[in-house]
Amino acid sequence: MNNKDKAIGVFDSGLGGISVLKELAKSMPNEKFIYFGDSANAPYGIKTKEEITERCIEIIEFFLKKGVKAVVIACNTATSAAANVLREKYNHIPIIGMEPALKVAAEGQKDDTIVVMATPLTLKEQKFNDLMSRYNDDNTIIKMPCPELVNIVENDLLDDEVVVENQIKEYYKNLDIEAIDSVVLGCTHFVFYKEYMEKILNNSISIVDGNLGTTNHLKEVLKERNELQSEYKEGSIDIYNSSTDERFIKLSNKLLNK
């Protein structure tokens, strides 16, 4: 099979990566996407690096059996835990990872206060701390671990305004909201909360995520490899989940069409 015709594998610990898949499919409607949500093993954010790496290997093996041309790790946590190992092990295909979009929020800024919402593992890992050290001389960067926001999505509680708003307010209760310039949604599950964040926080705060950057990066890589699908082909999306509970596929489709 011509490489152009092959699918793109996209995965996350669960349903957060659907927010990335949406952006990918919007930007590359002619591509075939295979999404794998590892909801049976979510959340990753409180697991060890080794446990996450093991899961990622199993998922990439699944994609390779399907014959993918590229893999997107639609998960900041899995990227910080395992991307290097995965790129070394599977060096014949591009593996696109994600990191909290701190660069977008902080580049060229001085004296800004930037909140980075992410999983405990992402915030603890070397990868994020190296990124942070590039910007925290000029700015105040606040790390905010938010594991509960992952569970709210996985448990289909995203539409429960009381649960969501109370949780977000709890995170921000000791911060001076007026002093915040931007908020980085550094976990793909959190992108689904953008409207809530806009409602709860000050209007002047910019809320950024890495989904568009990841999408553009994948597009560039495929273009360079001459593997971008032609505009005459019809795209598709197939969704798989490690959980045998059917509600995860239903919930994936609901989030995809939101």
Catalytic residues: 75, 187
Show the DSSP H helices in the chain as ranges. Answer: 18-27, 49-66, 76-89, 102-106, 120-124, 126-133, 147-154, 161-172, 194-200, 211-224, 247-256
Per DSSP, 248 falls in state: H
Positions in 7-26 near ligand DGL (CB under 6 A): 12-14, 16
Which residues inside 213-242 make contact with ligand DGL, applying CB under 6 A? none
Q: Helix, strand or coil for residue 148?
A: helix
Q: Specify the residue, 6 or 127, whose C-beta has the smaller distance to ligand DGL.
A: 127
Cβ nearer to ligand DGL, comparing 40 with 221: 40
Q: Which residues pair with 117 in a beta bridge?
A: 144, 185
Binding ligand DGL by CB under 6 A: which of 53, 76, 113, 214? 76
Contact status: 112 vs ligand DGL (CB under 6 A) = no
> Site for ligand DGL (CB under 6 A): which residue of 39, 53, 77, 229?
77
One residue of 39, 53, 113, 119 binding ligand DGL per CB under 6 A: 119
Taking only Cα atoms into account, the Rg of the chain, rounded to an integer number of angstroms, comes to 18
Whether residue 233 contacts residue 29, with contact meaning beta carbons closer than 8 Å, is answered with: no
Interface residue with ligand DGL, options 168, 187, 222, 237 (CB under 6 A): 187
Instruction: Provide the mask over 144-173, with x wherever binding to ligand DGL is found by CB under 6 A and - wherever it is not.
Output: ------x-----------------------
Residue 142: which H helix or E strand, with range?
Answer: strand 140-145
Residue with tokens 């919007």: 26
d(CA 211, CA 197): 17
Binding stretches for ligand DGL (CB under 6 A): 12-14, 16, 42-45, 75-77, 119, 122, 150, 187-189
